[in-house]
Amino acid sequence: PAQALIFDLDGVLTDTAQTHYRAWKRMADEEGLPFDQHVNEQLKGVDRMSSLEIILRHAGRTLSAEQKQALAERKNGYYVEAIAEVTPKDLFPGVARVLEQARARGLKLGLASASRNAAALLDRLGIAGRFDYIADAARIDRAKPAPDIFLDVAAALGVAPARCIGIEDAAAGVAAIKSAGMAAIGIGDATTLAQADACLADIAAFDVDAFVSP
């Protein structure tokens, strides 16, 4: 049976996948870079600079390292500004119940977000204390879809990957979970997340008891 749940954050526990999108879109519009929700799908779960690279590649724009740094920082400024308004009310419905169900079953809880803003966001959401371990994205070598961040969390929790369930809204994240040798629950579109072992429309549809046999 599973012994740990490892959650992604943005787009799984709260709607910040959209907040990231709006921050990128604001920067892209200012720079005249074509960017839309379709391209954004490839950005989900991907780290900050790689996300900018995808936007630039799609726009056919080449920039210097300094220019890229400046654009990434500008986007992050917009994002940080937006999450300053976040409160526990912004948790997706069902999150508190899922965390309680997991705790009641004695499961370890980990967080595997690629975001350097994850700790601050968890604080704003009021759930930082619910996790046994929160990965520090700045200390992870290879970004999703590499398995590194999920393996880091499993090791910190002291649970074998085969006993972990990863929960992700991003294709890159589901790929990372599978490559870590874990079971994957996709949150969102089943076609986009075809690699997941199970796919749910949202976290509210996650019944921990149904997934974790006693």
163-192 positions binding Mg ion, by CB under 5 A: 169-170
Q: How far is the CB of 170 from Mg ion (least distance, A)?
A: 5
Shortest approach of ligand G6P to residue 86 CB, angstroms?
A: 13
Residues 6+ apart with CB under 8 A from 213: 1
Our CB check for ligand G6P shows the closer of 48 and 108 to be 48
Residue 178 interface partner, choices ligand G6P, Mg ion, none, CB cut-off 5-8 Å depending on type:
none
Task: Yes or no: say if 47 and 20 are a contact pair by the CB < 8 Å rule.
Answer: no
Question: Binding segment for Mg ion among 3-11, 58-66, 132-140, 141-149 (CB under 5 A)?
Answer: 3-11
Closer by beta carbon to Mg ion, 148 or else 169: 169
**What is the DSSP annotation of 5-63?**
EEE--BTTTBTHHHHHHHHHHHHHHHHT----HHHHHHHTT--HHHHHHHHHHHHT---
148 binding Mg ion? (CB under 5 A):
no
| Per-residue contact string for residues 160-179; x = within reach of ligand G6P by CB under 6 A | ----------x---------
Q: Which of residues 32-91 bind ligand G6P (CB under 6 A)?
A: 43-48, 51, 76
- Say whether residue 192 binds ligand G6P (CB under 6 A): no
- The option from ligand G6P, Mg ion, none interacting with 101 (CB < 5 to 8 A, set by class) reads none
8 is catalytic: yes
Residues that bind ligand G6P (CB under 6 A): 10, 17, 20, 43-48, 51, 76, 113-117, 170
What are the catalytic residues? 8, 10
